[in-house]
Chains A and B, each alone.
Chain A
């Protein structure tokens, strides 16, 4: 055994102490509460998406003439295809929900403040990438929702002054939906965006390691008790339990609310009732309330504000200190998003 250990140590020159130093990041006690594990939850779900996505790619054919039939084959004919597609679809839904909840947790605990402004911006890029992955994902099925979702999405981009037409053309691989559109979405969904997410996650986690996790102290915490616990194995176990619960939840959702194949895309007929996925309900309702360019520019401004929020918040704090205005702005924003989402969900048009 000793000779094997020596052989490995010679080729992987890292000591036990160095390994402990790398893995035993002291984790603040507040991370024992499950809602502070929302950062690890989307990371776990991302792994689920990668694994199930690779499995689905064995059968999926990214072309306008074959995409729909291949998805139908996966869903109805391939062994456990319905289950894997269900995991992928519900995994995406939960991942986006977890990213949004994680961002809300970071916002309302003001964990984006100095010196963590850059990590908030990285998180915002991650949010945009995750939403884009969701959008390109449902565009691959080549159902009615896929086709018209992609068409509306591209025309939203087209409404942006100056660069809009270029973005639309690059998205659709032409002036309108054509035979090169689905392959382009597939490459974005299965290669470009996941690679970007991995890169951004690496930066996100590196910054967390460099700056440490934001410290919070709850009122019921006993004095004199240790303020931190070890990442390995304590926090890792917590994350493993969260992962196991998520896997059970995903399996239940995939089984009890299975995904189906909707009507095939018809470029000649927009369905009477058309809705995007739930995470775009707010934007969809907003587009109904205002004319194209005004709606797109106002949404763009809100997204820009979200990117710059740590700096805007710092300015607000200097101007009106200790009034917790950020919290009130956050509450209004959450209520507005919830209101628009419920409104869109509740009505046909």
Chain B
């Protein structure tokens, strides 16, 4: 044992271990506090936001919205039963590596320019890495209450932060995106040729 060794007495061994333990505990605690400080606070509250009156949302049509968090969402009505299964809300965030997809009306598909991923009108991957991985565009939860359609989305945003760093974090409404007159790159209206409420192709 250490006490038999001429160089290391039991007292020295205990002192050494105490010193090592103290250093590990103090610097370990400092490291843990710093790591927790650097780990961001989880602050992404989600809320149910009003979308539209179900009676005014015709079957076979699609609308594009922007959530308070800046997400572009395509909401389509595909049935006429009057319940929530008639509706489909798809995220515009590619499930592969997070780029924004856009609708290509000529190809009837959502296309991701980052790594050539493609999705059909229901959000199912048809080409590229998302198809290989069996990924689809994420659907948003929807519900109908008293004939009104609601969607659950995140309500904090980078877009808000850009505009107002000292922002009010209370939820704001969903914004319907007006459709551009040209067909440039970016977010073309999902499933819609010219109007914000158009027939599904």
Q: How would residues 122 to 134 of chain B score, 1 for a CB under 8 Å from any chain A CB and 0 otherwise?
A: 0000001110110
Compute how far the CA of A152 lies from the CA of B115 in the bound complex, rounded to whole angstroms.
Answer: 10
Q: Which of A154, A268, A295 contacts B98 (CB 8 A)?
A: A154
Compute how far the CA of A284 lies from the CA of B149 in the bound complex, rounded to whole angstroms.
Answer: 40
Closest to A148 in B: B99
Q: Is the CB of A155 within 8 A of B98?
A: yes
Does residue B66 face the partner (Cβ distance < 8 Å to A)? yes
Does residue B72 face the partner (Cβ distance < 8 Å to A)? yes
Q: How would residues 280 to 318 of chain A score, 1 for a CB under 8 Å from any chain B CB and 0 otherwise?
A: 000010011111111100000000000000000000000
B109-146 contacts to A (CB < 8 Å): 112-116, 128-130, 132-133, 135
Q: How would residues 149 to 175 of chain A score, 1 for a CB under 8 Å from any chain B CB and 0 otherwise?
A: 001101110010000000001100111
Q: Is the CB of A272 within 8 A of B185?
A: yes
Q: Is the CB of A293 within 8 A of B98?
A: no
Known: A268-B72, A270-B113. A177 touches B158 (CB 8 A): yes
**How many of chain B's residues have a CB under 8 angstroms from any CB in A?**
36
Q: Is the CB of A269 within 8 A of B187?
A: yes
Does residue A214 face the partner (Cβ distance < 8 Å to B)? no
Closest to A266 in B: B186
Closest to A151 in B: B98
Does residue B70 face the partner (Cβ distance < 8 Å to A)? yes
Compute how far the CA of A155 lies from the CA of B116 in the bound complex, rounded to whole angstroms.
Answer: 16
Q: Is the CB of B113 within 8 A of A273?
A: yes
Q: Is the CB of B113 within 8 A of A179?
A: no
Q: Is the CB of A152 within 8 A of B97?
A: yes
Among listed B17-25, B36-44, B52-60, B80-88, interface-contacting one: B36-44
Compute how far the CA of A293 lies from the CA of B95 in the bound complex, rounded to whole angstroms.
Answer: 12
Does residue A8 face the partner (Cβ distance < 8 Å to B)? no
Does residue A180 face the partner (Cβ distance < 8 Å to B)? yes
Compute how far the CA of A290 lies from the CA of B96 in the bound complex, rounded to whole angstroms.
Answer: 11
Does residue B100 face the partner (Cβ distance < 8 Å to A)? yes
Q: Is the CB of B161 within 8 A of A178?
A: yes
Q: Is the CB of B114 within 8 A of A169?
A: no
Q: How would residues 177 to 195 of chain A score, 1 for a CB under 8 Å from any chain B CB and 0 otherwise?
A: 1111000000000000000
Taking the closest CB of chain B, its distance from the CB of A230, in whole angstroms, is 43
Q: Is the CB of A174 within 8 A of B113?
A: no
**How many of chain A's residues have a CB under 8 angstroms from any CB in B?**
40
Does residue B107 face the partner (Cβ distance < 8 Å to A)? no
Compute how far the CA of A154 lies from the CA of B70 in the bound complex, rounded to whole angstroms.
Answer: 18
Q: Is the CB of B165 within 8 A of A269?
A: no
Does residue B162 face the partner (Cβ distance < 8 Å to A)? yes
Taking the closest CB of chain B, its distance from the CB of A163, in whole angstroms, is 13
Does residue B159 face the partner (Cβ distance < 8 Å to A)? yes
Q: Chain B residues with Cβ under 8 A from A273's Cβ? A: 113
Q: Chain B residues with Cβ under 8 A from A156's Cβ? A: 97
Q: Is the CB of B114 within 8 A of A274?
A: yes
Compute how far the CA of A156 lies from the CA of B129 in the bound complex, rounded to whole angstroms.
Answer: 13
Known: A169-B40, A271-B185, A288-B116. A179 touches B96 (CB 8 A): no
Q: Which of B70, B98, B132, B186 contacts A152 (CB 8 A)?
A: B98
Q: Is the CB of A288 within 8 A of B128?
A: yes
Compute how far the CA of A159 lies from the CA of B132 in the bound complex, rounded to whole angstroms.
Answer: 14
Taking the closest CB of chain B, its distance from the CB of A268, in whole angstroms, is 6
Q: Chain B residues with Cβ under 8 A from A349's Cβ? A: 113, 116
Closest to A142 in B: B162
Q: How would residues 260 to 279 of chain A score, 1 for a CB under 8 Å from any chain B CB and 0 otherwise?
A: 00000011111111100000
Taking the closest CB of chain B, its distance from the CB of A348, in whole angstroms, is 9
Known: A152-B99, A156-B97, A287-B97. A272 touches B129 (CB 8 A): no
Q: Is the CB of B132 within 8 A of A290?
A: yes
Known: A169-B39, A170-B39, A274-B113. A65 touches B132 (CB 8 A): no
Among A65, A154, A178: residue with most chain B CB under 10 A: A178
Taking the closest CB of chain B, its distance from the CB of A63, in whole angstroms, is 8
Q: Is the CB of A292 within 8 A of B187?
A: no
Q: Which of B44, B129, B161 contacts A291 (CB 8 A)?
A: B129
Q: List 15 A-B contacts (CB under 8 A).
A: A170-B38, A175-B44, A176-B98, A176-B158, A178-B158, A179-B158, A267-B158, A268-B72, A268-B159, A269-B186, A270-B112, A274-B113, A289-B129, A291-B133, A295-B129
Beyond contacts A148-B99, A270-B113, A287-B129: 15 other A-B pairs, Cβ-Cβ < 8 A, are A64-B162, A65-B162, A170-B38, A175-B44, A267-B70, A268-B70, A268-B72, A268-B187, A270-B114, A272-B185, A274-B99, A284-B115, A292-B129, A294-B133, A349-B116
Q: Which 4 A-B pairs have the closest CB atoms?
A: A272-B185, A291-B133, A291-B132, A269-B186
